[in-house]
């Protein structure tokens, strides 16, 4: 794995770098090949003394990303590693379930979920569907609409580019914009 470790308002000491590589390196056991895996780590320290770690691992069919804030940077590294490990296990379970279902369909047998495995796997059930038309507007108007509705995000058509955009409220209280290609 190739590590790209960056610090904002914090010096990335050799001990900190080594701890990050050691903890995230434990995730290698989940990958078949790790020679082309890039790990992007961003360490930050805020004015209140809390540290934040953001880890992004882009892969061909999966993007692993986790972030964690904590007073102790080493504890934040431990917590973010646990999050990434849960994401990997969840993805592998989903992939294995799809493969099992395809094998069963190939044998012309109806897929039957096994008792213990089905209980442990999280089902994604859509309980409500909404339909709405996207009104052309700028990002400021979209933020106003989002706040009026009391939502954490708002989808709209950007009046300048005529593309679908999303504004959202970040954990720090500021706003973000996602622009679709």
| pLDDT of amino acid 14 | 92
Q: Would you state the pLDDT for residue 34?
A: 61
Q: What is the pLDDT of residue 130?
A: 80
| Residue 114 pLDDT | 53
pLDDT of the residue at 122: 61
Assign domain 136-179 to its CATH architecture. 2-Layer Sandwich (3.30)
- pTM (2 d.p.): 0.55
- For the chain, the domains span 2-110+115-120, 136-179
* Token pair 């805020």: residue: 46
Q: What is the pLDDT of residue 129?
A: 84
pLDDT along the chain (181 residues), means of 10: 86 90 86 72 86 86 85 91 89 80 67 51 76 85 84 90 92 91 80
Fold of 2-110+115-120: Double Stranded RNA Binding Domain (3.30.160)
Provide the sign of the torsion angle of the four alpha carbons 90, 96, 99, 105, taken in this order: negative
């Amino acid at each position: 794995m190739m590590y790209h470790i960056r610090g904002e308002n914090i010096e990335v000491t050799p001990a900190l770098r080594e701890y990050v590589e050691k903890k995230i390196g434990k995730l290698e056991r989940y990958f078949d090949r790790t020679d082309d895996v890039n790990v992007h780590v961003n360490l930050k320290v805020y004015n209140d003394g809390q540290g934040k770690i953001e880890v992004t691992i882009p892969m061909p069919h999966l993007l692993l990303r986790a972030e964690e804030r904590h007073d102790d940077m080493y504890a934040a590294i431990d917590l973010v590693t646990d999050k990434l490990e849960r994401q990997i296990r969840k993805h592998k379970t989903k992939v294995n379930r799809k493969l099992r279902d395809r094998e069963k369909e190939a044998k012309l047998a109806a897929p039957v979920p096994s008792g213990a495995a089905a209980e442990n796997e999280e089902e994604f059930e859509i309980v409500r569907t909404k339909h709405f038309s996207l009104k052309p507007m700028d990002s400021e108007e979209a933020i106003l609409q989002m706040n009026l509705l009391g939502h954490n995000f708002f989808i709209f058509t950007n009046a300048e580019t005529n593309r679908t955009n999303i504004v959202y409220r970040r954990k720090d209280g500021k706003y973000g914009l996602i622009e679709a290609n």
